[in-house]
Each structure stands twice: as structure tokens, then as C-alpha cells.
Amino acid sequence: MPISPRFCGIASARTLIAFGLLLAYLTPARADSEPSDGERAIPLIGYTEGRNDLEGGQFVNWRTNRACLVRADGTGRKVLAEELTRKENAWTQFAGWSPYGQQAVILSLWESPKNAEWEREHKTFRMTEGWLVDTCLLDMATGTINNLTAVDRVSSYNTGLFFRPDGAGYGFTPLIDGVSKPFVMDRDGRNKRDVSGSGGGFAYGYSASPDGTRISYHENYQIYVSNADGSEKRKIETGKPFNFVPQWSPDGEWLMFVSGEHYNCHPHIVRKDGTGLRKLADRGGYRGVVERLKHPDFHSESSDVPVWAADGKSVYYTAKVGGSIELMRVSLDGTVEQLTKSQPGVRHYHPSSSPDGRWILFGSDRSGSMQLYVARADGSDARAVTNVPANSCAMHGHWQPVGGDRHSANPRNAQDNAKQAADDLIAITPRVVARHGVLGVEYHSGKLRVGHSVDAAPAGVQRRLPDAEAAPVEFRRHREVDGSVELGPVTLGTLTFRLRITQKNPTLIERTLEVTAAADQRFALKFPLELAIDGEFAAFSGPVTNEAAYDTGVRKRKNQTFPVAMLRTADRLYGVVADSPGYWDERDGFYIPPPLPSARHPDGEPIRELI
């Protein structure tokens, strides 16, 4: 039975109309209820694998690298973006995720054999020729690849892409005349610009603060902080010649980096204003790099840097203990824990905390080959999630963020999942699916599909003009914008529609429909949604058995729509906020003539300014 809240409006030129629908988890009906296997999903991990045994230098091994995906229980391994490697001497590397995991960040790399030969002979990189490196976004639902750094290209070597928290686009690091610089670009890849401020040094380790107002990086191995546009650039004084890859704490109050001498540097933290600098831990003689190749080359080691725990209360790092490289954890007060204890010669590398903080992903050659492992946050119960052959290595693991395709769950098994059910939230996530070229939207809780749009309106939007039947608004293209999925635009007559779906948090989804008009047009909207589970729609007073509707021609408002409804099963409550608990503004016709936004009641009540 479809539930269809309606919103009616009057659109004029330069009108902007928005309607929000929120999906949310409310609370388990019973505290002791346990999710079924289908209700939980196993997190995804992106990583890179490739050969490491070939003689002839790093290039012949690098070109075998492929960006891959695997579940955190070790199943479902697959290669991503294979079309990027069809050109001879091209390879890929997994480099990260979009904020909600709907897109993967993939490095597309190519080098000429002639340039690689020159580099090996001279034992140095020559990035000014013979290279083409771009950063692409891979849509996980459709497989579409968007090469952002190729748009209005500023460099042939572009890495380090991240999503700017202010929603304005992306940060990345191109090589400009052989010098690495922090750049920003708009969401469509255009308007690329340098934000390094004064100074012409080699910059690396570029990232933005969680609130998007500040950036940090190291330039000539000194830490700098500035405003997001590069202004008010300030050096963080450490007194050390080598400072590498500053990382913002989850709350944005601290920067963490390694500091000291090259190959003898250790985890340090400093407040964002440059005060409170202190050394957190010592790496015990570990050089801070992990050798990938069985036949080392001039620059075949990979940087192995500390990372923040998800809660920002501790830092994971690797250190030399006896004859092995062990996984460590240090709290901000300096308390150190050794999380692994290995035989001499064993190495651990590239730690990464899961989004919910329960798990730690890391690399290790404890089995004789370089595999990725998942363990509990304290290092216990470690299990391999990759199974690369002995002639290969698995590197650079990245957890998919919560809210992408699944809620961060126990990557072990159904029995473990059930034990944690009382502590786990039920996440609801959107998925965009394509049917015969038309985009549809589904809503999932883990592996369980709980709601979907109807066939008559695949994206969950219908529009109705005067004296006409409701017709679907069919979207045929979409993109990720600021961590949201935007469908459209699509123009029907004088009206243009854009639908934005935003994962506000793991348990809350916001749908916003934006309508603009080229001329005055009266219209109505309908938002169909159907259950995909054995349950019902209900208000707090009981089940909703009739389609909820609103007619602008009827002055009496009572019972024309439900103020709040939910999806519920025998042991779960999900929330669907369709309109809001009041009886007027959510059902007004919005008329927005410039310059002041205002709302006008369809039944002729006075216009009011919108605040």
C-alpha cells in the first residue's frame, strides 16, 4: 500500500521550492530483539593489490596494481574500474571514499617505459614528462567513472583528492612545473586554483579541517595551516627538520603528524592554533616506511604513517619492538599499548580505524605474504581479509564510510552480530538503481530493503498539473554533490526538477525536491513510497490504511495527511517523517518572488515572510 504525502504549490519565474522527506530509525521495539542475517551487512574495504616479485624495478611491478574491493569478512573480492587499465602500462590504486561511501576515489596512473628506465638509471623521479596521473570518482551503484582532474587540466600528475567539508567541491594536489601544490576545484572539476598562499615550496599531505574552514599540509617538510582559501598562512613551529602529513582530529581541535629527522620521526600532536605541541610516542627505530618489493628499487618503500582512532581519543601507529614491526595504540595522554606480538621479521603497516571505531584494518606479512587484516580495536581476533598470492601484496586499505551501502557492522558472522544487536543502530541508507535508463530509489537497512519507490514513479516523485493525472518525474542522470546524491535536472514543460538525497547521519535520510519555473505554473506533487518488508505504515495512533493526500481546494485540513508516520514490523520501528507535526506550513503553496521569500496559503490567507 503506497503512502503518498503531497505538496502543492504555485511556481513563478525564478522560483525555488523545496520539500523534505526524512527517513529515520526510531528505536527497536524490544531492547533484546536481534537482527536477522539479512538485516546486517558486512562493511566494504577498498585497497590495492599487485605483483611485488618481478625483477626489473618498481615500474614493472606497479603496472600490475589494481584497485580492488573486498568485504571485511574476506568475501566478495573484485577489481574496480578495469577500463582505466586497458591502456598498456596503465594501473590503478584505491585512494579513498566519498563522505557517505557512494563513490570510490580511484587513482588512474600511466608511465612510459622509457621514462621509467630513465628514472631507474638516475634513481630519482622525473614527473615533468612521461607520466599521466588522474584522480577519478567511481559511482558504486552505476559504475560510472568521472575523471575530475582531467577537466580543465592543470597538471599531468594529480593526486590527493578529498571532499571539502564546506561542500564547495574538492581539494587535490597537482604537480605544477614539478612542484606539488594544494589546489581546490568546484564540484564539476572546474575553477581549479592554488591555495598555497605565499611560498613556492613542495607541498604534500593536504587536508581540510572537519568544519571546512581551515587547511593544513607540509611544505618543504614544515607544517602549515591556513584558511581554506590559502589566506592567513601560518607555520607550526616544531623545531624539527622533518614534519610529514598532518591529519586533523575528528573534532578539528588537533593536528597529528610525524616529526623528527627523515626516517627517524615519531607521532606528535599540536592544537590547531599551534600550541600544545607534544610527542605522543616513539617508533623505536622504525624508519616509518614499508618495503613492498622483493627486489627493492630506488623508491619502492611506502610511507607508513599514524592515523587517528575514530573517536579522536587515541592514535594507531606502527613501531619497532625487538625484531618486528608491531601495531601500537597511544592515547592522547601518552599511554601506549602494543596490540600485536609477532615473530622476529614480521611487519605490520598502514593501520586504519573503522568508522564506528570497533575495528582496525592493517597490513601484515605474518603469513609470509603481504595481506590485509581486520581485528578488533584492541588488536584481538585478527583475521585476513585478502588472499593475494605469494608473488603479490595488498596495500592501502580504506573502510567504506558509514552511510554508503551499509551501516558499520561486525565483520565476523551472524552469531557475533546477534550478540551486538542491542548496541547497534539500525541504519537506513538510500540506493540509486537504474531500470531501463530511468533512475529509481530504494531504502535499505544493511542488506534488507525496507522501502522503495513505486513503478509509476521510480524516483518517488510525481507531478500533477491542473485537470491532468499525476505523472512520474523521471530522472535519467545523477551525480554525487557534497556527500549527497542529486538526481536531475529534468525539465517538464515550464518546470525543472532536481531531487537531492542526503544521508544526514547513519540513521537519517533527507530528501529535498527543488523545483524552478520558467513561467507561472500551478502544480501539485506526490511522493509515493511502498514497503519492501513484511510490515505496515502507521502513525502514533495506529496503522495508516488510506493514501495520505492533500487538496489545496479544501479549506478543512484535519485528517488530510498524516503528520508523522513510520515503517514498522513485528520487532522494528523505522521512521518516515512525511510533512511535519503541524497543520499548515508544510502544506502551504510556496511562492517566492524576489527579493523576499514568502509563503502563501492556498486558501487565500495572508502572505507571510519565511524566516
- 497: number of Cβ within 10 Å: 22
3-state helix, strand, coil in the chain (%, to 5): 5, 45, 50
Is residue 374 situated within a structural domain? yes
Shared domain for 141 and 156, answered yes or no, is yes
Shared domain for 85 and 170, answered yes or no, is yes
Could you please report the per-residue DSSP string of 484-528? EEEEEEEEETTEEEEEEEEEEETTEEEEEEEEEESS-EEEEEE--
Taking the C-alpha atoms of residue 291 and residue 308, their distance in angstroms, rounded to an integer, is: 23
Shared domain for 386 and 479, answered yes or no, is no
Q: Tell me, what DSSP letter sits at residue 465?
A: -
Select from 149, 152, 151 the least CA-distant residue to 161.
149
Taking the C-alpha atoms of residue 156 and residue 171, their distance in angstroms, rounded to an integer, is: 16
Helix (H) or strand (E) holding 121: helix 113-122
Give residue 573's pLDDT.
59
Shared domain for 213 and 262, answered yes or no, is yes
Shared domain for 316 and 430, answered yes or no, is no
Give residue 166's pLDDT.
64
Give the burial class of 454: count Cβ atoms within 10 A of its Cβ; 0-12 exposed, 13-18 middle, 19 or more buried: middle
- Give the residues of the chain that fall short of pLDDT 50: 1-40, 403-425, 546-565, 576-611
Is residue 415 situated within a structural domain? no
Select from 245, 242, 262 the least CA-distant residue to 205.
245
Taking the C-alpha atoms of residue 537 and residue 2, their distance in angstroms, rounded to an integer, is: 9
Q: Which residue has the cell 597538471?
A: 155
Taking the C-alpha atoms of residue 123 and residue 96, their distance in angstroms, rounded to an integer, is: 29
Taking the C-alpha atoms of residue 76 and residue 413, their distance in angstroms, rounded to an integer, is: 15
Give residue 572's pLDDT.
60
Shared domain for 334 and 443, answered yes or no, is no
**Whether the Cβ atoms of residue 47 and residue 372 lie closer than 8 Å to each other:** yes
Shared domain for 218 and 344, answered yes or no, is yes
Give residue 536's pLDDT.
66
Select from 392, 291, 290 the least CA-distant residue to 61.
392
pLDDT in tens, 52-90: 999 999 999 999 999 999 999 999 999 999 999 999 999
Q: Sign (positive/negative) of CA torsion 487, 489, 492, 494?
A: positive
The total domain count for the chain is 2
Give residue 539's pLDDT.
57
Give residue 96's pLDDT.
96
β partners of residue 298: none
Q: Sign (positive/negative) of CA torsion 64, 67, 70, 72?
A: positive
Q: What are phi and psi of 117, to 5 degrees?
A: -65, -45
Shared domain for 195 and 212, answered yes or no, is yes
Is residue 431 situated within a structural domain? yes
Q: Give the domain extent around 497.
A: 6-38+423-609
Integer distance in angstroms from the first to the last C-alpha of the chain? 36
Shared domain for 201 and 315, answered yes or no, is yes
Shared domain for 68 and 206, answered yes or no, is yes
Q: What are the grid coordinates assigned to 490, written together?
A: 529534468
Shared domain for 52 and 34, answered yes or no, is no
pLDDT in tens, 11-55: 333 333 333 333 333 222 222 333 333 333 578 999 999 999 999
Helix (H) or strand (E) holding 268: strand 264-271
Taking the C-alpha atoms of residue 426 and residue 504, their distance in angstroms, rounded to an integer, is: 14
Give residue 258's pLDDT.
98
Shared domain for 340 and 448, answered yes or no, is no
Q: What is the CATH number of the domain that holds 329?
A: 2.120.10.30
Give residue 575's pLDDT.
53
